[in-house]
Structure 1
Amino acid sequence: MTENPGGSRPGTGPQPADEAQSPNDSRPALARRLGVGDAAVIGLGSMVGAGVFAVWAPAAKSAGALLLVSLVIAAFVAYCNAAASAQLAAVYPVSGGTYAYGRERLGPWWGYTAGCAFVLGKTASCAAMALTFATYVVPGHEWVRRLVALAAVIVLAAVNYRGVTRTAALTRILVACSLAVLALVVILLLSADHVTNWTTDTSPYGVLQAAGLLFFAFAGYARIATMGEEVRDPARTIPRAILIALFVAVGIYLVIGVSLLLALGPARIGEASAPLATAVQAVDAAWAQPIVRAGAALASLGALVALIAGIGRTTLAMARTKDLPTWLAAVHPRFQVPHHAEIALAAVVGVLVLTTDLRGVIGFSSFGVLLYYAIANASAYTQPAGQRRWPRVLNILGLLGCVVLAATLPLTSAITCAVLLALALLARWVRLRSGRA
C-alpha cells in the first residue's frame, strides 16, 4: 500500500487527488447549496456558541485584569489561521479542511494528523456543547441533564441528516436568538453604574494560557472550510465567509468582555460558573437571568449543530482516502449529506454525554484545534505566489502562535489529547505496514 492512494504528491495540483471528483468518478457528490451568508452564519453559530457564556471564567482566572489582552492575542492568532484556511480553501474547495490541505501541500501523514486532531477536539466539543445546553435548561439531577443532552444530540443529528440547507436555516435562527440575548445583556451591563475592583495577580504565562482557552471560542470558522463541497462558487464564497464570521465574532467577544469587566471585574468573573447570569444579577437585573439561560441554551444548540456538520465532512474526507473505514464515506442519495459519518458521530457523542465529565474539555479541544491550525499555517506557507492572498509572514506568525498557545494549556488536557493523537498515528502506521505485507 502506498502513502497516497490517489498518486499525487504534495503541491502538484490545484486539488488533492484523493479528494478530486472527476466527471467519471462514481462517488456520490455533496450538493453545492450554500452562499456567503449561509456559510458565514454556520461559522458564526460555532463561534458565538456556548463559549461566549462559559469561557470567560477560566480565562479571567488565568489572565486577571489583562483578560482583554488575552482576547486580542487569541483573536490575532485566529485571524492568521483564518487567512491560511481561506487561502487554502479557495484553491482546494473540497470537504475535509486542513485534512485535505495538509495531504496536498505537506503529505498524507500531515493531513492525517490534522484530521485526527480536528475530530478528537471537536467530538469532545460536541459533548461539551450538549452538556452545556442541558445544564442551563435543567439545572437539577445529573442524570436528567445527561439524558437531556443525549436528546439534543439525537435531534440535531437528525436535522443535519436531512440536509445542509436545513442546518444553515436552523443555525440562522439560533444565532439570531443568541445575538438578541447578548445585546440585552450588553445594554443592561453598560447602562449600570458600578465600580469594580480590577486588582488581580497575573503573569505573562497566565495571559497566554487565557489566550489559549479563549481560542476555543474562535475556532468555529473551521466549519466553513470543512464544508468546501457544499458552497456555491467556493473560491469566492469560502474566503469571504470565513473572514466575515471571524470579524463579527471578535467584535461580539470584545463588547461582551468589556461589559463583563465593567460589571464584575476580573476576580468575580473568574469565580462565576455562569458569568453573564451573574453579571445581570450584579447590576440589579435578576429578572433577565431566565432570558440569559435561554440564550445560553440556544447558543449551545447553534454551536452543536454546526459542529456536527463540520466533523461529519472531515470524517467523510478521511474515509474517502481510507484513513477511516470506507463505510463512513457514504453520501445519502436523497439528502446528499455524509449520513453514515453523522450517525457514527452522534453515537460517539451520545456515549460521551452519558459517561464523561467534560469540565476540562475546553483545554483538550483547544490543544487539538491549535495543532490542526498549525498544520494549516504550514500548508499555506508552501503555496506558490499565484495562489497567495496574504503574505507568508502571517503563516509564520500563525504557526508560532498556535504552538505557543498549545504549550501553555493545562497539562492534563494537553497530555490526554496528545496521547490519543499518538494512538491514532500508531493505528495508521500499523495499517500501512499490514497493507505492505
Structure 2
Amino acid sequence: MTGQEKQTTQPELKRVMGPGLLLLFIIGDILGTGIYALTGQVAAKVGGIVWLPFLIAFAVALLTAFSYLELVTKYPKAAGAALYTHKAFGVHFLTFIVAFAVMSSGITSASTAARAFSANFTAALGLDVGDGMVVLIAVLFLVLVAAINFRGVGESVKLNVGLTMIELTGLLIIIGIGFWAIFHGQGDVSRVTTFTPAGDSGVFWSVIAATTLAFFAMVGFEDSVNMAEECKDPSRIFPKVLLTGLLITGVIYVLVSIAAITLVPAGELSEGETPLLKVVQAGAPGFPISIFGVITMLAVANSALINMMMASRLLYGMAREDVIPAILGRVHHGRQTPYIAIGFTTLLAIGLLIFAGGVPQLGGTTALLLLCVFAIVNIAVLVLRKDTVEHKHFRIPTVFPVLGALTCTFLAGPWTGRDPVQYLIAGALLGIGVVLWLATVTIMRRTNAARA
C-alpha cells in the first residue's frame, strides 16, 4: 500500500492549534528543565558572565530557526527534520538516523524532566526516599503523560497552556526578586561583568564550553514543526509565532541569569541541582520556598509532556512517509491521536530513565544530538532550493543556513570541552537506531517480496 493509499484509509490529525496555542507551545517547550537546572552549571564555567553563553546559544538557535521556518512553511507536514532530510538527500538510512536522533533527543529530555519532577515531588512532600522510589515515581509520571498525550492534542495543548503559564511565572518571580533586590541595594551587580574561568581555560573556550550547556535550554523550538499538521494555516502563522517565541524566551533567559548571578555568587550557584531556589532564598527569604518548588516541578513536567508529544508525532509522520514501519503511523479512530507511536516512545523513555543517567549527561546528550541534526537541516535548506512548491512560503538569505551549519557543527565538536560521556550515550542511542533501521529494511523487503 502506498503512502497516498494509506492517507485515504487513515484519519487525519485534528487541526486545533491557532497562533496563540502555537506560541504558548513554543515558549513552554523552550522554557523548562534547562534554565531551571543548568544555570548553576553554566556559571561554574564562566563565573559572573553567565548571561553571555545563553545569549550566544540564542543567536545560534535563531539561525537554525530561520532554516526551519523556510522548510516548515514550504512543507507543512509532521516529521520535521527527518522529512526535510528525506526530501533533500533521499537516503533512507540518513533519514532514519536523523529521525531517530531527534526522537532520542526528545525522549532523553523527557526522561530527564520526569526524574527532576519525581525529585521535586518527593522534596515538596518532605519525603526522604531512595533512588529506586524516585525512578518509580518518574515512571508513573511518564505513564500519566502518555495517557494525556493519547487523549488528544487538544487536551495536551490546553494542559501545556496552563503549565507554560506556571513555569513562566516561576521565571518572572526570579526576575522580579532579582531586580527588586538590585533596586534596594542588595546583591552585587558588578558580578555580571566578572569572568571566572573553569580551570586554565581562557575566555573564549570557557564561554564555548558554557554555551554547549546553555544550548540545551534553548532547544525546543524545533519540536513545533512536528505539530504542523495539527496547526491552522501553518505556512502563514509559523514565521511570526516561532520568532516571537524565541525572542521572548531569549530575553527571559538573559534576565534570569543576570538576576541569579547578582544575588548568588557563581561558586554557590553551581553547587547542587536547585540554583534558582538559591536565588529565591537570597533575594526574598520570606518567600514560601515550597511554592517555588512546586512551580519548578510543574515546569519540568511541561517539558516532559511537550517532548513526548513531539516524539510520537515525529514517528507518526515518518511512518506516513514510508521510512519506518506503517504500524507506527496508525491513528486511533476515536481520539485521532497516533496511539502506537505514543506507546513506543513511552517505553523508550522509561528505558532511558532507568539506565541512562542524570540531568548533566542526558541534557548534554540532547544538545549534542540536536546540534548534529540542526547542521543537517541547515544544509537541507540549501539543497532544497531547487525544489519549488505552488504555495507561497518563507524564504531566508543564503548566509543564514550557511552560518547555522557552521556554528552547529562547531558546537558539536569535542574541542568545545564537552563531557566525553555525552558522545558515548549519543553513540549508544544511534547504535540502537542502526539496529532498528536494519530491522525496518528487512521487514519492508519481506513485505514487498510477499506482495510480488
Could you say whether these structures have the same fold, taking a TM-score greater than 0.5 normalized by the shorter chain as the test?
Answer: yes
2:158 is the alignment partner of 1:169: yes
Matched-pair contact (CA < 8 Å) for 1:80–1:395: yes
Structure 1 unmatched runs, 5+: 7-17
CA distances 1:391-423 after superposition (whole Å, capped 9, x unpaired): 111101111111111112221102320343245
In structure 2, distance between residues paired with 1:367 and 1:339 = 29
The one of 416, 423, 426 equivalent to 1:414 is 423
CA distances 1:320-371 after superposition (whole Å, capped 9, x unpaired): 3444332211111122111111112122222333444323111111111111
The one of 72, 93, 99 equivalent to 2:55 is 72
Q: Where do residues 36-435 of structure 1 align in structure 2 (5 Å cutoff)? A: 36-108=19-91, 109-139=93-123, 140-141=128-129, 142-192=131-181, 193-195=186-188, 198=194, 200-202=196-198, 203=202, 204-285=204-285, 287-359=287-359, 360-384=361-385, 389-407=395-413, 408=416, 409-425=418-434, 427-428=436-437, 432=441, 435=445
RMSD of aligned alpha carbons: 2.3
Evaluate the alpha carbon distance shift between residue 431 and residue 171 of structure 1 in structure 2; reply closer, same or farther with a 3 A threshold: closer
CA distances 1:283-341 after superposition (whole Å, capped 9, x unpaired): 35253321221111111111111111100011112233444332211111122111111
Q: CA deviation at 1:148?
A: 2.0
In structure 1, distance between residues paired with 2:437 and 2:143 = 30
Letter in 2 for 1:61: A
Letter in 1 for 2:144: V
In structure 2, distance between residues paired with 1:24 and 1:124 = 31
In structure 2, distance between residues paired with 1:126 and 1:417 = 16
Percentage of matched positions with identical amino acids: 24
Evaluate the alpha carbon distance shift between residue 286 and residue 146 of structure 1 in structure 2; reply closer, same or farther with a 3 A threshold: farther
TM-score (structure 2 length as normaliser) = 0.87
Matched-pair contact (CA < 8 Å) for 1:231–1:238: no
Question: Which residue in the other structure is 1:11 paired with?
Answer: none
Q: CA deviation at 1:154?
A: 1.4
Evaluate the alpha carbon distance shift between residue 156 and residue 428 of structure 1 in structure 2; reply closer, same or farther with a 3 A threshold: closer
Evaluate the alpha carbon distance shift between residue 146 and residue 210 of structure 1 in structure 2; reply closer, same or farther with a 3 A threshold: same
Q: Where do residues 12-31 of structure 1 align in structure 2 (5 Å cutoff)? A: 25-31=8-14
In structure 2, distance between residues paired with 1:58 and 1:323 = 39
In structure 2, distance between residues paired with 1:24 and 1:138 = 45
Matched-pair contact (CA < 8 Å) for 2:74–2:394: no
In structure 2, distance between residues paired with 1:58 and 1:294 = 22
Q: CA deviation at 1:433?
A: 7.2
Alignment: residue pair count = 420
Letter in 2 for 1:184: I
Q: CA deviation at 1:239?
A: 2.4
Which range is displaced more, 424-433 or 72-81? 424-433
Q: CA deviation at 1:23?
A: 10
Q: CA deviation at 1:33?
A: 1.5
Letter in 2 for 1:410: D
Letter in 2 for 1:152: F
Which range is displaced more, 254-263 or 351-360? 351-360
Matched-pair contact (CA < 8 Å) for 1:138–1:144: no
Evaluate the alpha carbon distance shift between residue 80 and residue 27 of structure 1 in structure 2; reply closer, same or farther with a 3 A threshold: same
Matched-pair contact (CA < 8 Å) for 2:44–2:267: yes
Matched-pair contact (CA < 8 Å) for 2:48–2:266: yes
Q: CA deviation at 1:238?
A: 2.4
Evaluate the alpha carbon distance shift between residue 187 and residue 355 of structure 1 in structure 2; reply closer, same or farther with a 3 A threshold: same
Letter in 2 for 1:72: L
TM-score (structure 1 length as normaliser) = 0.89
In structure 1, distance between residues paired with 2:369 and 2:143 = 25
CA distances 1:45-101 after superposition (whole Å, capped 9, x unpaired): 111112221011222222333322211110011101111111100011111111111
Matched-pair contact (CA < 8 Å) for 1:54–1:275: yes
In structure 2, distance between residues paired with 1:46 and 1:415 = 26
SS at match of 2:357: coil
